[in-house]
Structures are given as structure tokens and as C-alpha cells.
Amino acid sequence: MLKEISIGEAAKRSGVKVPTIRYYEQIGLLAAPARTDGNRRHYEDTDIRRLAFIRHARELGFEIDSIRTLLHLQDDPNQPCETADGIANARLIEVEQRIRSLNALKAELELMVEGCRHGRVAECRVIEILADHGKCAHAQH
């Protein structure tokens, strides 16, 4: 007889924390699994794969709603993959924008930190730049 996968075991195998698994069940991202006599959840291998899929997508910054769509697509392999492609593409554009904006922030933070002469707050470059946006180096923010 196969050993049943407890929620703790599922967490270990998928890398998704126990309360998060329960949360995903609650919001309907993961189907409610069967229960043991003692009312404990037990999972199948397919659930573990689904959890790993979700975790990976979350790491890539996809929103729960996008993941919901991606999971539906995965369940129906004959559909054209334009929707999946579109979601990934949208996310790629987001990430590119975020990188650009973070690079601008980085430049400005470097200016602050380098300009700081470790003296008094009165002549601190960090405080000064924060107080006056005009002192920013053309940062796109």
C-alpha cells in the first residue's frame, strides 16, 4: 500500500509552506484533497506537481489570477497557447520596466550614499536629496 502524502510532506516536496497550501485550497487554486479517517488532508503526486508549478510561477512574479489561467490551460493541452504566451509576455514587459526603474533608483541611491561625508545630518546628502527631488539625477521616477 502506498504511503499517503500528508500536508507537511507535500510542503517539503513542493517547496510551498503548509499554511500557504491550505490558503491555495481556500481560494480554489488547488482542489481540496481527500481526507484520512482522522480528517487530515492527503495529496497525490499530481497535487505536488501542481504546487510546484504554482510555486515556480509565483517565484517568477505571476499573480494568482494569471496562475489560475495558466493552470486551466495546462489542464487542456489542445488549446492554442496564445493565452499562455500573452501572460508570459506581459510579465516580461513588466519585469523589463521594473528593471529599468530599479536601475534609476540604484543610481540615485549610489549618489546619496557616495555623497555622504559621514558628518552631521545638516549636510547629509541622503537627507538632502530626499528633501529635494530636483537634486535627482534625471531618475525616471
Partner DNA sequence: GCTACATGCTCTAGTGACTAGAGGAGCAAG
Partner DNA sequence: CTTGCTCCTCTAGTCACTAGAGCATGTAGC
Q: Cβ closer to DNA: 64 or 88? A: 64
CB of 9 to DNA, least distance (A): 6
Angle at which helices 45-59 and 7-14 cross, to 10°? 50
- Separation between Cα atoms, residue 99 and residue 7, nearest integer Å: 36
**Residue whose CB is less far from its own copies, 4 or 71:** 71
Q: Please list every residue from 94 through 113 that binds DNA, using CB under 7 A.
A: none
Name the binder of 97 from DNA, its own copies, none, CB < 5-8 A by kind. none
Q: Work out whether 40 is an interface residue with DNA (CB under 7 A).
A: yes
One character per residue 65-84, x = contact with DNA (rule: CB under 7 A): x-------------------
User: Among 139, 140, 122, 118, which Cα is nearest to 131's?
Assistant: 122
Select the residue interacting with DNA from 58, 91, 125, 135 (CB under 7 A): 58
How far apart (Å, rounded) are the C-alpha atoms in residues 11 and 20? 9
Residue 73 contact, options DNA, its own copies, none, Cβ 5-8 Å cut-off depending on partner type: its own copies
- Across 76-113, b (16+ Cβ under 10 Å) vs e yields eeeeeeeeeeebbeebeeeeeeeeeeeebeeebeebbe
